[in-house]
Structure 1
Amino acid sequence: MGTSGSGRMDGSGRGAEVSGKVHVRQRGAVLWLTVANPNSNELTADIRLQLMQALDAAAEDGAIRAVVLGAERARFPHQVPFGEFDTGLADPTPMDLAGRIESMPVPVVARLQGQVQGAWAELALAAHVRVAALNVKMGFPNVALGLPPMAGASQRLPRITGARQALALLLSGRAYPATADLFSGAIDKVVPLPELADTAQALALAAAETGSWMRSLDRADGLLDPAAYQEEINRRRLAVQRAGRAAEDAIVEMVEAALLLPVDTALVLERALFEELLVSEESRGLRHAMESRIRVANLPPGQPVALVGMLRSGAGAVRLAADLAAQGVGIVMAHEDKAERHSFRNAVAANLEARLKRGAMKAPAVRRAVESVKTTANPAHLGQVEVVIDSAPDTKAAKSAALQDIAAVAGPDAVVLSTTRHLDLAALAPQAIRPRVVGLHLPQRPYPARLAELVIGDSAARATVARAGRLMHQVGRLPARVRPADGLAGGAMMGALLDAADCLVRHGEDPMEMDHEMRALGFARGPYGMLSDIDMDAYLARQERRGLTRGLSVLMAQAGLRLNTGSDPESERAALDSLVSEARRGEAPEPLGLGGQGQWFALLGAMVNEGARLLDQRVAHKPMLLDMVMVQGYGFPRRLGGPMHAADTIGLFRLIRIMRACAPFGPRIWDPHPLLVDMQRNSRTFAALNR
């Protein structure tokens, strides 16, 4: 064997290091192909080509009787680079590679460990034998990107498992343990990790010796009961048609094709549907949302945090302490008042017990978490912690005092996380700890919201950023690095949305209709429904700082009116109408007649205008950060990608034209920011600014 990316081995089990990321080693008559890509999950065209060349050479080498395919440790790259999705898959495509694996003249054993997802899971199905370690979780997450399988999984999986298991795996996008019933028949053997290599070698030799191996596309185990298969197809089709998601509909059609069409025709259908959805707006939006999440949250690497200190209690501190303790992080809460310490520990324990009741944690884990929460009357004990978390009131005076207290007791390397929505905390901190101070905002929502805005100024040390980011990852949060600003990034973008909604209401638009239209687009809440989820006092304080005290959103926050609670819709509507009349100052203006799409474009234009301001002032360094913040913290639909991506989709020329039409009603809201005007004049996009 003498191809690029591979090398000829002797029978000793040792081989030369290859150029590239595919390592080759020969153990007797079995060739081992091992992908080494430790710093990336991307299955690049280069890696695919090296694998293809190594397989081609093995097919021509009469001394090779079997192949074992796997990865170093547990990191077989599984994600096709996002750039390839945008420009077209390079050759060889994952489908090409899967076809080469399956067509090999010798058996190929897929050696699976750790996370086996996406393209790697599809390639594993193309192998003739699959052996998995007990730590394997396997899944097909393409559907989360608005895409069906791309490498034959829609045909191989149902032929092996049947329609029920195949559709459950392909439609959910979730990763399941290798021992799950869903993989019955798809994974040939599951063994402890230390036994994986020897088992893979033994299975490869046995398959070569006996000839007892079959190509997945030749199998028909899952097609033995056509009536039951079609019944499952019909059931799933009804469900996905109601949901209206194109990728799920395509998956059902593909799996049905496994029963009804010849293999080659069904594979052509899979490729055609994949390529059709690849250029859809929905898939582009979902891919952008995923790429934004990955790139924005990728802060400098840091070591896991083991011990965190807190100086104060409060609802936010209790939730965060419970999150940390649930992940095995020790907590030390210091307070001079014994009753305050007792109340804090009991509140954390209650939070953890609630997780036990809803099945989110098991009893032993809850006990360990509760035991990890310690309290002390002596603040000096915080000198041993790696991170100090402060939740003092979000005012200059309170934060200055709190940071002074922390500086007196914190260790020389401790990072300080202090909650804020608008302050430059490093500027308020004593000089001694200034490079180690980071502002923190953790949105709390009744729907999934993983955002953590980290407010990081110019003086922050790299180690500080790394530790703060790592701690947020430990509790399942996605850190977004922003510079100090009133409202940070998310609050400012949400404020622009509510400013625009208030202006539209003042000129005759109906707030309930506006909320309905936004939810129909996929928002978790409409503008006024969102008021129920945010801290109304913090919102009122920001509006007062901005001199905006008469809009409907402010009146609702002052009255504590929350929409869509379901308790008394008639009284809710009557209270809203009264506040609408007050916001309009008793006038009854004719509605602007924007319609649902016009309202959406007007609201989007306000957010994009604010986003341009945040970019210009360097509060956010890239448009995708603003998209990630809104998707992960403020209920913006993933399928739209975020407000800046949505602006690219609509086109800045069209959006600016709509903004200028709205500007007479609210110049501060809709007069296009100079950055937008410059971008439109020079045919630039936000996507280009992300590069």
Structure 2
Amino acid sequence: MAKVSNEEICNGIGVLEIDSPPVNALGAQVRCALDEGLRRMMASADVKAILIICAGRTFFAGADISEFGKAIVGPDLGEIFTLIEMSDKPVVAAIHGSALGGGLELALACHYRIAVPSAKLGLPEVKLGLLPGAGGTQRLPRIVGVETALDLIVSGRAISAHEARTLGVVDMLATEGGLRDDAIAYARSVLDQPLVRVRDRQDRLESAHGKPEIFADFRKKNARSFRGFKAPENIVKAIEAVVNLPFDEGLKREWALFKELEASIESLAQRYYFFAERETTKIPDVPKDIPTIPIATVGVIGAGTMGGGIAMNFLNIGLPVVLVEMSEAALDRGLGVIRRNYENATRKGRMTAADVEQRMGLIRPALDFAALADVDLVIEAVFEEMEVKKDIFRKLDRATKPGAILASNTSFLDLDEIAAATSRPEWVVGLHFFSPANVMQLLEVVRGRHTSKSVIATAMKLAKTIGKVPVLSKVCNGFIANRIMAQRQIQADALVLEGPSPQEIDQAVFDYGFAMGPFQMIDLVGLDVIGRGATTRSVAGDLVAMGRLGQKQAGGYYDYDEHRHATPSPVAAEVIASFAVDKGVVPSGKQAAADILARLLFPVVNEGAKLLEEGIALRASDIDVAAILGYNWPVYTGGPMFWADTIGLQTIVDSLRALETRYGAAFTPSKLLVELAKSGGSFTRG
């Protein structure tokens, strides 16, 4: 077992340093080192106070997530924290980097905390469907008060060392680069002070005693954001225990609530997603040592909503952008939108006026492809039409330097056909941003038949640099997210003709966990946008012909008042009924929500299985990441493939076969899905 701790006594201060790369996670080996080191120092007559500090780039960044759900090896965090807390010698936590989760809980168990100004502190367990299970919900409220603790723990947000100092979480700020010396000096300065244990503090709790409305109001205020998640409610219950129970009883209540979450599907799904998101950059034939291409200047073709949003990603990290449009008016309009977006951020306090000017100053507007001669990467973001895109890439082939990456933001089209319009298909890649491009986290990196490994490695690295989560896809119609989710819309459009209303379909999807149903989404985006380029008659097309474009004009599948509040639309119902008669669809009457979900979502799972069969997606978890980040699939279900494993693949196969018998080959289960169901296998469970 490698040594992870170093011990030293400096003028009566015992320094216990943990060095367990990469993030000093509080796994079994680290816990044992802490336990043994603390006991030696507590027993030493030469040690008057103890300093806990970490080597490397961070303080304890949290517990070892891989241990969740397994038997504890060695001392648990609770035992170590009790040892620290009950010490008759002051114990000081010296924080740099991040003190997150179990790391902050350890610091809270210490008698004093000192941090460098750049440090971040937080309890982010809620993002894994959990709560802080080692006293975080019981100690933090005793320092910051109940209402602030509710906000911090339920949101899981990290706070700066300066904010932590203001709140009392940190007792002193050290100088950057001088943490060890400052912490030793601080430990020496508190030797004559009476020890105050966080567990014994009551002053910040007094205002919450006898006021259950604090918790009731918090639940009411956050009901919408809590929907579908278990962890926020359990966190509220744990903090209620701070007010209503003695400390040790509160710890027991916290642990029971933690174990309840740990065993839940919701937490399993969120923990699965945590690792899934980090797996997306692992490409078997593109090892980490593949050289990447330096990107110092970016070109963007198209200054519309998508192009402007794409440009902002690079402006935000300080990269100059050459923004190309076909007319001065379009260019001015695009620049105006970018400026307004930044000015909106200024009004919300997210950036300064100087930041706006700095970013706008990085844009070089242009009306000619010649301006792209020296860019390292150019991204095309124009109308989704093959001939238009091929023409652009022919021009880019001539206008850009050798070694420039040529990227298309196409969301559906054949990247290989686009690349064939150039003399260098190995330099062509798909960079499919989701709208709004400056906000949405997903970036599908589309690998063409000839795209070089260096280009792929560069695209994946660049995605992380601009704050995106990259998911690799090979070429197919719609790639990953759009291809699978198109199945939901196809079935919604068919099902609404059979009897269930748009409201019933949307409600079933909403109750499952989506922010809105398919027809609500169409009305929000615009029926004319969703149906653009359609060549066959549809309900949406008939509504558009009547001037019903959705929320923005005269209603769509719903009617809207002046505040855009939706009500069922008799006009839309009549259009749907008429269309069904014309198509010869026999109404089937009302359907249960479970049957509606099976009809809409099982085909999504089946399409995901086809992506794996065809080698379009590398792994099932990539499909889940794409669905969650691209279409807001509820994260507490884990995404379509994890969800499928949860409910049982044989259940899905049986349902699809029943639908196939009734509706035809569109519901034929994929070969992979059938094989996994038969063998008892899964997409995501090992």
Over 3 Å counting, the alpha-carbon distance change for 1:64 and 1:437 in structure 2 is farther
Over 3 Å counting, the alpha-carbon distance change for 1:24 and 1:331 in structure 2 is farther
For residue 403 of structure 1, what is the aligned residue in structure 2? 393
For residue 298 of structure 2, what is the aligned residue in structure 1? 308
For residue 159 of structure 1, what is the aligned residue in structure 2? 142
For residue 289 of structure 1, what is the aligned residue in structure 2? 273
Alignment of 1:118-137 (within 5 A): 118-137=101-120
1:85 Cα offset (Å): 2.6
Alignment equivalent of 1:109, drawn from 74, 92, 99: 92
Q: Matched residues in 2 for 1:233 and 1:381: separation?
A: 59
The answer on 1:429 being equivalent to 2:419 is yes
For residue 511 of structure 2, what is the aligned residue in structure 1? 520
SS at match of 2:68: helix
Alignment equivalent of 1:272, drawn from 256, 269, 283: 256
For residue 139 of structure 1, what is the aligned residue in structure 2? 122
For residue 566 of structure 1, what is the aligned residue in structure 2? 560
Alignment of 1:456-605 (within 5 A): 456-457=447-448, 459-532=450-523, 540=531, 549=536, 552=539, 560-561=549-550, 562-563=556-557, 566-567=560-561, 572-585=569-582, 589-591=586-588, 593-605=590-602
1:81 Cα offset (Å): 4.4
Q: Matched residues in 2 for 1:560 and 1:393: separation?
A: 20
For residue 222 of structure 1, what is the aligned residue in structure 2? 204
The answer on 1:355 being equivalent to 2:345 is yes
1:330 Cα offset (Å): 1.3
Alignment of 1:372-411 (within 5 A): 372-376=362-366, 379-411=369-401
Over 3 Å counting, the alpha-carbon distance change for 1:130 and 1:461 in structure 2 is farther
Over 3 Å counting, the alpha-carbon distance change for 1:88 and 1:444 in structure 2 is farther
Q: What letter matches 2:36 in structure 1?
A: Q
Q: What letter matches 1:276 in structure 2?
A: E
Deviates more, 1:30-39 or 1:133-142: 30-39
Q: Deviations over 1:68-111 (max 9, x none)?
A: 32334543353444443344555444334433433445322212
Alignment equivalent of 1:319, drawn from 309, 319, 329: 309
Q: Deviations over 1:144-196 (max 9, x none)?
A: 22222111111111223332222222222112223337952321112442343
1:374 Cα offset (Å): 1.2
Deviates more, 1:273-282 or 1:27-36: 27-36
1:121 Cα offset (Å): 1.4
Q: What letter matches 2:683 in structure 1?
A: F
The answer on 1:257 being equivalent to 2:248 is no
Q: Matched residues in 1 for 2:16 and 2:449: separation?
A: 46
Q: What letter matches 1:508 in structure 2?
A: G
SS at match of 1:194: coil
Alignment equivalent of 1:618, drawn from 615, 620, 629: 615
Q: Given that residues 94 and 150 in structure 1 are in contact (C-alpha distance below 8 angstroms), is that contact kept between their aligned partners in structure 2?
A: no
Q: Deviations over 1:12-64 (max 9, x none)?
A: xxxxxxx3544555544434344445545854333333333333443344433
Q: Given that residues 388 and 414 in structure 1 are in contact (C-alpha distance below 8 angstroms), is that contact kept between their aligned partners in structure 2?
A: yes
**Aligned pairs, number:** 667
Q: Given that residues 101 and 108 in structure 1 are in contact (C-alpha distance below 8 angstroms), is that contact kept between their aligned partners in structure 2?
A: yes
Q: Given that residues 537 and 557 in structure 1 are in contact (C-alpha distance below 8 angstroms), is that contact kept between their aligned partners in structure 2?
A: yes
Over 3 Å counting, the alpha-carbon distance change for 1:127 and 1:540 in structure 2 is same
Q: What letter matches 1:609 in structure 2?
A: N
SS at match of 1:482: strand
Q: Matched residues in 2 for 1:681 and 1:586: separation?
A: 37
Q: Matched residues in 1 for 2:534 and 2:483: separation?
A: 11
Q: Given that residues 37 and 76 in structure 1 are in contact (C-alpha distance below 8 angstroms), is that contact kept between their aligned partners in structure 2?
A: no
Q: What letter matches 1:320 in structure 2?
A: I
SS at match of 1:50: helix
1:608 Cα offset (Å): 0.6
Q: Matched residues in 1 for 2:315 and 2:532: separation?
A: 32
The answer on 1:420 being equivalent to 2:414 is no
For residue 28 of structure 2, what is the aligned residue in structure 1? 45
1:410 Cα offset (Å): 3.0
1:426 Cα offset (Å): 4.7
Deviates more, 1:368-377 or 1:42-51: 42-51
Deviates more, 1:618-627 or 1:280-289: 280-289
For residue 629 of structure 2, what is the aligned residue in structure 1? 632
1:551 Cα offset (Å): 5.5
For residue 318 of structure 2, what is the aligned residue in structure 1? 328
Structure 1 portions without partners, runs of 5+: 5-18
Deviates more, 1:366-375 or 1:389-398: 389-398
Percent identity among equivalent residues? 28
1:427 Cα offset (Å): 5.3
For residue 553 of structure 2, what is the aligned residue in structure 1? none
Over 3 Å counting, the alpha-carbon distance change for 1:671 and 1:436 in structure 2 is same
Deviates more, 1:274-283 or 1:659-668: 659-668
Q: Deviations over 1:450-497 (max 9, x none)?
A: 211111235433432333233333443221111111011111111111
Q: Deviations over 1:475-531 (max 9, x none)?
A: 432211111110111111111111222332233222221011211222022122233
Deviates more, 1:492-501 or 1:429-438: 429-438
Structure 2 portions without partners, runs of 5+: 551-555
Q: Given that residues 37 and 75 in structure 1 are in contact (C-alpha distance below 8 angstroms), is that contact kept between their aligned partners in structure 2?
A: no
Q: Matched residues in 1 for 2:369 and 2:130: separation?
A: 53
SS at match of 2:218: helix
The answer on 1:63 being equivalent to 2:76 is no
Q: What letter matches 2:669 in structure 1?
A: P
TM value normalised by structure 1: 0.86
Q: Given that residues 240 and 248 in structure 1 are in contact (C-alpha distance below 8 angstroms), is that contact kept between their aligned partners in structure 2?
A: no
Q: Matched residues in 2 for 1:60 and 1:459: separation?
A: 66
Q: Given that residues 415 and 467 in structure 1 are in contact (C-alpha distance below 8 angstroms), is that contact kept between their aligned partners in structure 2?
A: no
Q: Given that residues 136 and 177 in structure 1 are in contact (C-alpha distance below 8 angstroms), is that contact kept between their aligned partners in structure 2?
A: yes
Q: Matched residues in 1 for 2:108 and 2:296: separation?
A: 40
For residue 186 of structure 1, what is the aligned residue in structure 2? 169
TM value normalised by structure 2: 0.87
1:448 Cα offset (Å): 6.7
Q: Given that residues 412 and 479 in structure 2 are in contact (C-alpha distance below 8 angstroms), is that contact kept between their aligned partners in structure 1?
A: yes
Q: Matched residues in 2 for 1:267 and 1:570: separation?
A: 48
1:661 Cα offset (Å): 2.2
The answer on 1:232 being equivalent to 2:214 is yes
1:66 Cα offset (Å): 3.0
1:297 Cα offset (Å): 5.4
The answer on 1:679 being equivalent to 2:685 is no
Q: Given that residues 421 and 441 in structure 1 are in contact (C-alpha distance below 8 angstroms), is that contact kept between their aligned partners in structure 2?
A: yes
Over 3 Å counting, the alpha-carbon distance change for 1:213 and 1:400 in structure 2 is same
Over 3 Å counting, the alpha-carbon distance change for 1:75 and 1:602 in structure 2 is farther
1:200 Cα offset (Å): 1.1
Q: Matched residues in 2 for 1:584 and 1:491: separation?
A: 30
Deviates more, 1:109-118 or 1:240-249: 240-249
Q: Matched residues in 2 for 1:446 and 1:515: separation?
A: 26
Q: Deviations over 1:257-302 (max 9, x none)?
A: 2233232222122111100111112222232333323332568697
Q: Given that residues 5 and 19 in structure 2 are in contact (C-alpha distance below 8 angstroms), is that contact kept between their aligned partners in structure 1?
A: yes
Deviates more, 1:447-456 or 1:363-372: 447-456
Q: What letter matches 2:61 in structure 1?
A: H
Deviates more, 1:675-684 or 1:192-201: 192-201
For residue 14 of structure 1, what is the aligned residue in structure 2? none
SS at match of 1:69: strand
